Amino acid sequence: MAEFDAFTALVESPVYVVTTAVGGNRAGCLVGFAGQCSLKPARFVVWLSKANHTYLLAREAEVLVVHLLPGRHDLAAHFGALCGAAVDKFADVPWSEGPDKAPVLTDALAWFAGRILHRVDGGDHVAFLLDPITTHAPHTTSGTTPPLSLHDTLDITAGHPA
């Protein structure tokens, strides 16, 4: 396992905040395991921890919103270190209602909403295969802050129960 940890330590992956809503309840969490997995048709996969409050809602959701974060460690810590079962993560964060009533973070660098096509159990995380239905991204990356990376957030302790 140490060799695999050394391998993954070389990868500079972005982190995401994933949000959803079901039956008037909202949830969102910091996600380090995600990425595009198909070009045609366009597909993206997000892995949610089974210990996470967002996962509990996502099991019943039809749509997830995936946000790329600008260099905002505070925003990552907010969604990564707090437990959504204990606190409303959206109370102090600017957001608007997006597709299927899922929260869209105002301060995101870019975001897309994806319809959930499949859920696949992968161990302590479940993969949610998404079909992008709505995207908001800058038309140019000139002058844009690079997305926050996994290495930028290694100091955040997960707020969900172990």
Reading the chain (162 residues) residue by residue, the pLDDT tens digits are: 788 878 877 777 888 999 999 999 999 999 989 999 999 999 999 999 999 999 999 999 999 999 999 888 889 888 988 777 788 999 999 999 999 999 999 999 999 999 999 999 999 999 999 999 999 988 666 666 777 666 666 666 676 655
pLDDT of 27 reads 96
pLDDT for residue 13:
83
**DSSP single-letter state for residue 151:** G
Q: What's the pLDDT score for residue 50?
A: 95
Nearest Cα to 111, choosing from 119, 121, 122, 103?
Answer: 103
Which residue in the block uniquely carries the two structure tokens 């002058």?
143
pLDDT of residue 11: 77
The residues, any chain, with a CB within 8 Å of residue 60's CB and separated by 6 or more, are 22, 23
Residue 136: the pLDDT is: 94
The predicted structure's pLDDT at residue 147: 75
Residue 18 vs residues 3, 5, 80: alpha-carbon distances, Å: 29, 24, 11
Q: Where are the beta strands (DSSP E) in the chain?
A: 16-22, 25-31, 34-38, 43-49, 63-68, 95-97, 103-105, 110-121, 125-136
